[in-house]
Structures are given as structure tokens and as C-alpha cells.
Amino acid sequence: MGNEITYPLEFSYALNVAEVCKVLDTDQTSGITNAAAEERALKFGLNIYQSQKKKSIWMMLIGQFKSPIVYLLFAAASASLYFGNPIEAISILVVILLNALIGFFMELQARTSMRALKKMDQIFSKVIRHGKLKELPSEQIVPGDLMVLEAGDMIAADGRIVQFNQLQCDESALTGESFPVMKQLEAISGEAVLADRINMVFKGTAVMNGNAKVMVTATAENTELGKITSLVDHAQVTTTPLDLKINQLTKKLIWITLIMTGLFSLSAVLEGKSWLVILETSIALAVAAFPEGLPIVATVALAYGMLLMARKNVIVKKLSAVETLGGVNVILTDKTGTLTENKIYVELLGFPDEILRVSIEQGVLKYLSGSSQSSEENLQKLILVGTLCNDASLEDKNSGKKAIGDPVEVALLHLTEATGTSSAQLIAAYPRIAETAFSAETKMMATLNQHKNLNFVAAKGAVESILEKCTQIQSGKETLPLSADQKAAIILAAEKISADGLRVLAFGFREAPGISKEHYLEKLVYAGMVGFLDPARPAVKDAISTCRSAGIKTVMITGDHPMTALNIALKTGIATQQDQEVIKGGELPDMGSLSQTWRKRILSAVVFARTTPKQKLEIVEVYQKAGYLVAMTGDGVNDAPALKQADIGIAMGLRGTQVAKEAASIVLKDDSFISIARAVAHGREIFQNIQRFVIYLVSCNLSEIFIVTLLSFLAPQTILLPLQILFLNMVTDVFPALALGLGKGDPTVMQKPPRDPKLAIISNKNWLIIVLYAMLITASVVLAVFYCSSFVSRDPDILNNVAFITLAFAQLFHVFNMSSNHAGIWSNEVTKNRFVWLALLICILLIFLVYLFPQTRLALDLSVFSIDAWMVAISASLLPLILVQLYKIIWGKANGNSLPGKTGLI
């Protein structure tokens, strides 16, 4: 290789496989070399297309100046210049710049966190390079790569099919074609529209069935998806539910400000106050109303919380999903791998004449009951079928390569090795010439293999499905006709095995010359069955119990056998001895005409077995119509519709297909239900943190509105100036609020019922608490001003400074009022939050630094005043904290609960 390749390769559908390989300078069996891959990666770039251009650093900085409050401050600076106060004008401009820089760095941190999350959620693709199969991030795929596709894969690049088996792709997102497209290998003559290029696969579409090897012909912007996406000229901004709630909150604050400003302006005009005083006070009120850092603090808190969740094996793909998580009250979960360990062990061998309990110890098959002497022929055939009808591979201790494939198939290979037979030698002696991939409809997999002059058919799957294809039975060394009574007996034996919690697979075979590739699944011989044990995860029962305490119902939906499902449900606590109803998919009626009786039965059931993907989707819809907020787990191609339909779709990261991961809002890196419970708890904690700092910010800002309004009537000369308020908003608001957003949250969050996601971020009950907080802070400032006026100094400048200091420290101490009601005063989630202490330290240092330098004192109209005035300010600032904590103690002793409203935040 080394020729100049033609790229992007146009009309590759019109070329045969050899021509495509020649043009792309690659090989249809070994792919490109590693050196060629590196060279092409440098030449053609990463296989990424960004539908939305990222804001540059400069645009992000400029964006900090695009807000009503900044426009208002520019107006204030202009007014100061007009009325001959250049120092104040310069000070306002400096504060605008500082505010913008704080917002800029916080937004930059949020973007960095989101980038880290995106890296954790990389999609991987399989390619053959230099003759070796590799799994690598999809962005590293280059033209000429030989991609290996299987059912459930999201296709990472456009490519020409070079080898396939029953390949079907869902191209609806690209072409609008409703049904999966059956692919072909032959070149297409003439020009063909996209939907007719059936020897090609396309980036962004999904493999629904079969498998294939594909030569990559286009990546990134040169793919068909990239061409369509590039037609979009501007980025679309998505508003999350949390953004909408924050916008609604801002509108309420604007109305409060307008009312306060209107009342003040009216009285000021009637009293004959100067227009300059009216203008400055109105600006101060407007500045006080806006919690400038709220949107960015919310984003940082969400991104930080999501990053922590990702480190705990839960990747949240959408910011809005965090909010929804807090309201989930039903989890519809799969069984295998989610509730169980997904580590399959061969536990039982079932033959026509005997059932044997076995175990594999140190790589050797041990018989715990009986022996296989009378069923030796059946065992050999079962091992042969289990090895050939298998797409897994065992671990290689020398190279450190892990076992790859379905855990059941890995267990079958371990069984083969445990009998002293080499699975690799069997596979080499029986090369595969055709296969039927497993599907939810057929519930079986089969292969056609060549051995010397004979063909060998190997089939494994559900007992009922295999028996349907069998006409004979292996009995010792004889092959006898399989009667209806024998079939019934085998099914009954399988039922009994499943009742013990084992997963059962049956095995069939056929050996004859000249078996047709089209009709090889006929006249099979039944060889036996295997019982597999997939034990429940040790901590799942506690996780389900935790969910139940949190008001969340857990329901198992599985395609597995009813008795196997019930056994695991009982062991994990989903089902109880009093509640053991299992609804089978076959008995579910048409959901389009569901009776009220059946609707109630579905909503009360805790286990659904032998369900189809369509039924999973319909069960989700039944719960949603009943008003439930549903989380749904899934891993397969056919789970994607249900994952999309659910309020929270949860895909399995280990065994989940790429299609399922794309459809889901959350991906579990460890496939464990325990991680789902943790995700719900963490989602509640994150939203509670957001609610906590919103209450903190709004109560602080509302107190500023009250203070400015009251002082404008009671002591106009002491009124807080716009620049002083803005400084407080930057210092005493943003840093403590951010610290609250990064806290660990209430440890009892899973002992409370789910939150209604339709409720505003601040409920009416919260507003009552916020007003009480604001009134306490306002009272402390007014009290400090009048006490100081009576006993320390009547100087308006000193009184203004006392109001400023009292408000600053009252807001800082107010952060400790944000702990949960049940928590202790000295030991709670706020006092244990190291970020809170760091934020307080920074804020106090900044306040004292402002007083330390004459230039900053002058800018904020501050002056050096006596220790007595300082003592008054600090003492008064502690009053809101003391009163709230005393009230908590008194109310807690009297009621054993929280304050009215049970907000959990006061």
C-alpha cells in the first residue's frame, strides 16, 4: 500500500469489491496497515462532524456582556459621567469587567466538565487493521478501514459492503424509509439515489439484523449524514427544563422589582426628591433583583454533579435528564446483568435419560450428582454444538486479552475446555459456511459447518424453539424419532430447572452430506439442554429496598423464562411471598383496546416475562398514561423504542448495543441496578443542591430589594449604592451559591417521595420561606443602621458602610441556614461541605481587601470607621442565622419535623 487514494470515493456503490479496495488502497480481508491508518488520520482528520460550532473563547467572553443587568450598569456609568462623577463611572466599568471574568471562567469550567463527560461516553467500533480485529473510538476510523458490524451497532462511517450475512439496516433517520433495508453485495449499475444504494451502509444508521464487513469509503463531513448536516447554517440552542424554570423565576423577580421601583418612584416624586436620587435608587433596585450568577452556577453544578456520577459508572448524556431523575417513581428493569452478575456458570446438564448437577473447578468439569457415562454421546454432541454455534472467544492469559462475547457463549466454551477438548481445534475442524443470527422472534441461533465430506448443523436456543425444529432425539449412541410425549417431558423438565432460577438452553444438531444453505434448519436431532446460573448481584436487594423507601416501584421486564424471572425477583426483593404474580408476554392483550381490569393488573404486577420489545414499549406507555414518571433499562436494538419512550432511558454500557446507548439518556458503565439506584439518589441530590442555592440566591437578592426600598423611605442618605450591591452579588452571592451547588446533598434524600418534575424550581411554600429569610436579613440591616445611628454615629457615610457590612456578612452566614431540617446545627451537609468554607474564606478576604486599599474604598464609597460600628454590623449580621437555628431547634422538638412546608431546606 502507499498509492494516492481517491477520497472521498464517489459512486462506490457502482464498483465491485475489488475495485473499491484498489481505489482505497486497502485489502478486503486484512484492512489497511497501522502505518497507513496513522497517515490517513493526519491527512483526513478525525471522523467527527460537529453540527453545532463551539463558541470561541472570545465569543464566550463577549457573551458575558450580553445581559440586561450589564446594559443597565452601562447606563448607570453613563449617568455618573453625565452628573460629573467619573470615579463612580470607572468603578462600575471595572465591576462589569470583573463580573464578566467570573462568569467567563465559570462557563469555561462547565464546558471543560462537559467535555470530560463526552469523552467517557465514546462510541467504539470494531475494525480489522493489519489483519487483526481491534476495537477503537469511532472518531479514529479512517477511509480504507475494514469495519466489522453486528446487530445493534451504530454505523460510524459510510462504507461499501464486502462481506455480509442477512444484513438489515434501519436507515429511516437518513432516507425516511420506514422498514429496515435488506442489503446486497453486488455492484449497482447506473446512478442510484441514496435509498437504492443497498450495497452501502451509512454513518448514523443502525444494524438491525445480521453482520457484515464493510470498507470505509467516507468519514466525517464527507459521509451522507455529514453532507445533510452541513446544510444547517446556524446552531440550534436547546432550552432545558431547568433553563425554563430559571427564566420563569427571573420574570417573577422582574415583576417584584418593577412594583418596588414603582412604589419608590411615586413616593419620591411626591416628596420632591431629585431625579438623580430616583435614578440611582431605581438602578440599585434593578441590580439587587437579578441574581447574575444563577444560570452559570446552575450549569456548573449540573456538570460537576454529572461528572461525579460518571466516575460512579453512570454517564448522563443530557443535562435535562438530571432534573427528570429526581422525579422517577417507577423503574422498569431488565434482569440479566442488571439485577444479576451477568457472570454465567454451567450448573446443570440435562439429557434424555438423566439430569446432572455439575461445576467447573480450576478448569475441570466436576459431577456433583451422577456421571455422564450413559449420556456420553449426548455430551459430546452438546459440546460440539455449543462450540460451533458460538461467536464468543475465551481470554488469553498470555496476551492479557479478555473473553469477548455473550456470557452464555463464553460459559459454553469454558465447558468445552473443561472436558479436555480444545474449542479452537473444533472450530478449525468445522469451518462455518452459513449462519442464522439470534433474534427475539426466533429465540435461537444456528450455524452450518463443513467437516470433511459432511455438513454439520448446530443450533441452540429456547427449549420450545429448538424442539419445534427437532424430529429426532439422541439417546445414548442411537438416534430415535422424537415423540410428542417426549417433547412435553423435555419442556416439563426445563420448567422445573427454570423454577430453580436457572436459565435453560436446548441444543440440536444434524449431520449429513449436501445440506442446503437455505433449508438447513430442518429435521434436527435433540441432544440435550444446559442450565446456567446467573446469580443475583449481592447488593441489589438493598438497592431495591432503598428505592422502595424513596417511593420508587421496581418492576422486572425480561424475555427470560417466567420461573427464572420470579426466582430472581424473590431473591432481590422485587417480588414477595404475598406478591408473586408473573405476567407472561403471550397473555398480554392488545394494548390498543386495554380494559380497565387489565390496566390495573399491569400496574400492580412486579414481574413480566417472555415479553417482546413491542410489549416493553407498551408497558412503558401504560405507566406513563397512569401518571408515572418511568425509567426504563435496555440493552438491545429492539429496546431502543422503549428507551426513547421512557422519561429516562437507561442503556447498559457493557453489553448494550450502540443503538440502545444512542436512544438512552443515561448509560451505565457497569450494567448494575445498584448504579441506577445511585443515579436516582445523585439526581435528587443535584436538583436539591440547585434548589438550595436558588433559594439562597433569591432570598439574598430579595433582601437587597427590601433594604433599598425601606432605606429609601426611612434613611435615604444611607441607601446602598448600585456598585455596592453589585459587589455583594459578585462576592457574597456567587461563591457560596456555587459551593452549595457542589455539595454532597442531603443523605436522607432516598427516604423521601419523588419530586413532581412539573413543579417550579421554587414552590409557593418555598417562596414563603424565602420571604421570611429576606425579611430577617432586611431587619438585621435596618436594625444595625438605626442602632448605630442612635449609639455610635449619625454620619450618613458611616451608616451606609454599616448597612453594607451587615448585609455582606448576613448573606455569608445565611449559607448555614440552607441545611436540611433533620440535620444537626453543627454537623450537616452544609457544614461538612469544604467548598462552603473555602467560599466563605475567599469572600471575607475580598471584603477586607476592599477595605485595605484606599482606591477600592473610594470606588465603593467606603470609609474607615470605628471598631464599635464594626461590632454592631457583625453582631447584627448574625441575627438571621441565630433566629433560624433557634426556630429549627424549637420546631424540631415540638414537631419532630421541619418547618411548615417541609421543604427540607430550612
Q: Which residues are catalytic?
A: 334
CB-CB neighbours of 72 under 10 Å? 16
Contact 661, 653 (CB under 8 A): yes
| CA angle centred on 721, ends 719 and 724, rounded to 5° | 120
Quote the radius of gyration of the chain (alpha carbons, Å).
35
Contact 203, 223 (CB under 8 A): yes
Contact 97, 70 (CB under 8 A): no
In order, the DSSP letters of 279-328 are: HHHHHHHHHHH--TTHHHHHHHHHHHHHHHHHHTTEEE--HHHHHHHTT-
The distance of Cα 889 from the centroid of its chain, to the nearest Å, equals: 39
Contact 448, 352 (CB under 8 A): no
Contact 679, 325 (CB under 8 A): yes
Contact 380, 458 (CB under 8 A): no
Torsional class of 904: left (φ above 0), alpha (ψ -120 to 50), beta (otherwise): left
Q: CA–CA separation, 250 vs 550, rounded Å?
A: 31
Three-state SS for 375-390 is HHHHHHHHHHHHHHCC
Nearest one of 184, 216, 223, 218 to 31, comparing CA atoms: 216
Q: CA–CA separation, 524 vs 466, rounded Å?
A: 8
Sign of CA dihedral 57, 62, 63, 65: positive
Q: CA–CA separation, 737 vs 836, rounded Å?
A: 9
Q: Are strands 607-609 and 582-584 parallel, antiparallel or unpaired?
A: parallel
Contact 160, 17 (CB under 8 A): yes
Q: Is the peptide bond before 291 cis (omega within 30 degrees of 0)?
A: no
The distance of Cα 242 from the centroid of its chain, to the nearest Å, equals: 16
> Which cell is 836 given?
462552603
| CA angle centred on 279, ends 273 and 285, rounded to 5° | 110
Q: CA–CA separation, 822 vs 828, rounded Å?
A: 9
Q: CA–CA separation, 102 vs 730, rounded Å?
A: 8
Chain length of the chain: 906
Nearest one of 441, 461, 317 to 390, comparing CA atoms: 461
In order, the DSSP letters of 170-202 are: E-HHHH--SSPEEP--S---S---GGG-TTEE-
Contact 556, 606 (CB under 8 A): yes
Q: CA–CA separation, 352 vs 487, rounded Å?
A: 10
